[in-house]
């Protein structure tokens, strides 16, 4: 009975050492503490953030997405970094997507969160990295399992002449929120092709600005190829920044303009 007893003591020591070391490691060595345990994290760390930047995993950045996504062409994702307080920008990316970057947004007055839909090529972590005023990046994420293929299929729009007539058309609506403030949802007609389907060049929304009717910016959105076709965005406006009306403007990578008044 002696040996098991000794082993148990050794194990206990090892465990308590592990626990003591963990919180510090989470800060200094994010390579080894990825909560999503992705073999691509080391590459992501290098590609997505400036060398020397402080990058921490932080549960206050919440990414909500279905654990299993049936339709890889249209995977709903929402990001909520509200628990961090003020946030400068948020970068959303997926480790295993052929085009890793999905969307980058600056909540300049809007709530630091965004709802949108994406295309995924295979099962992958979907992460949001929020940069706070001190320059550090707070990373949250969720695994999404999918059969995939969403990035290498042509958009349905690319085979239909319909979108050409309606390209850039915006439908939108504003709701009052029970918790105070308002919610703006908008949908833009755009085929969004990734450039990875044979013979169809990349065609996607590059810049969007949501502003109030006086022109004060509320949210800047920089889109990349993996955003889903006919994108839908959900933006919340805190009570202090609501306005009589809103407007959205922007362009795609071919220079087509998007401009619409969002009426209440």
Task: Kindly list the distances between the CA atom of residue 39 and the CA atoms of 42, 44, 103, 174, 248, in Å, as whole numbers in the listed order.
Answer: 7, 10, 22, 41, 39
Nearer to other proteins, 76 or 82 (CB): 76
Q: How far apart are the first and last CA of the chain?
A: 76
What character string, x for contact with other proteins (CB under 8 A) and - otherwise, covers 196-235? ------------------------------------x-x-
What character string, x for contact with other proteins (CB under 8 A) and - otherwise, covers 128-167? -------------------xxxx-xx--------------
Write down the least CB distance from residue 72 to other proteins, Å. Answer: 6
Number of residues in contact with other proteins, rule: CB under 8 A?
32
Question: Radius of gyration over alpha carbons of the chain, in Å?
Answer: 21
Q: What whole-number distance in Å separates Cα of residue 63 and Cα of residue 103?
A: 13
Q: With binding defined as CB under 8 A, does residue 186 bind other proteins?
A: yes
Q: What whole-number distance in Å separates Cα of residue 14 and Cα of residue 11?
A: 5
Q: With binding defined as CB under 8 A, does residue 69 bind other proteins?
A: yes
Nearest to 27 by CA among 57, 48, 53, 52: 57
Residues ≥6 apart with Cβ < 8 Å to 178: none
Nearer to other proteins, 66 or 168 (CB): 66
Query: Footprint of other proteins on this chain (CB under 8 A)?
Result: 64-66, 68-74, 76-78, 115, 117, 121, 147-150, 152-153, 171-173, 175, 183, 185-187, 232, 234
């Amino acid at each position: 009975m002696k040996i098991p007893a000794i082993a148990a003591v050794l194990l206990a020591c090892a465990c308590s050492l592990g626990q003591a070391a963990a919180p510090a490691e989470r800060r200094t060595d994010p390579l080894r503490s990825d909560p999503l345990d992705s073999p691509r994290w080391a590459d992501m760390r290098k590609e997505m953030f400036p060398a020397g930047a402080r990058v921490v995993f932080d549960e206050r950045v919440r990414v909500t997405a279905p654990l299993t996504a049936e339709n890889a062409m249209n995977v709903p994702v929402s990001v909520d970094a509200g628990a961090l307080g003020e946030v400068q920008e948020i970068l959303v990316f997926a480790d295993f997507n052929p085009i890793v970057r999905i969307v980058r947004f600056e909540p300049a007055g809007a709530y630091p969160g965004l709802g949108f839909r994406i295309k995924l090529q295979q099962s992958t972590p979907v992460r949001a990295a929020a940069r706070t005023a001190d320059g550090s990046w707070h990373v949250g994420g969720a695994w999404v399992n999918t059969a995939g293929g969403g990035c290498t299929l042509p958009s349905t729009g690319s085979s239909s002449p319909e979108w050409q007539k309606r390209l850039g058309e915006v439908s939108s609506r504003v709701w009052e929120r029970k918790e105070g403030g308002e919610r703006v949802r908008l949908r833009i007609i755009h085929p969004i092709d990734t450039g990875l389907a044979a013979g169809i060049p990349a065609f996607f929304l590059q810049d969007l600005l949501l502003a109030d009717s006086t022109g004060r910016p509320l949210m800047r959105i920089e889109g990349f190829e993996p955003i889903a076709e006919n994108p839908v965005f959900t933006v919340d406006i805190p009570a202090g920044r609501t306005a009589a009306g809103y407007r959205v403007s922007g362009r795609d990578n071919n220079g087509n303009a998007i401009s619409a008044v969002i009426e209440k």
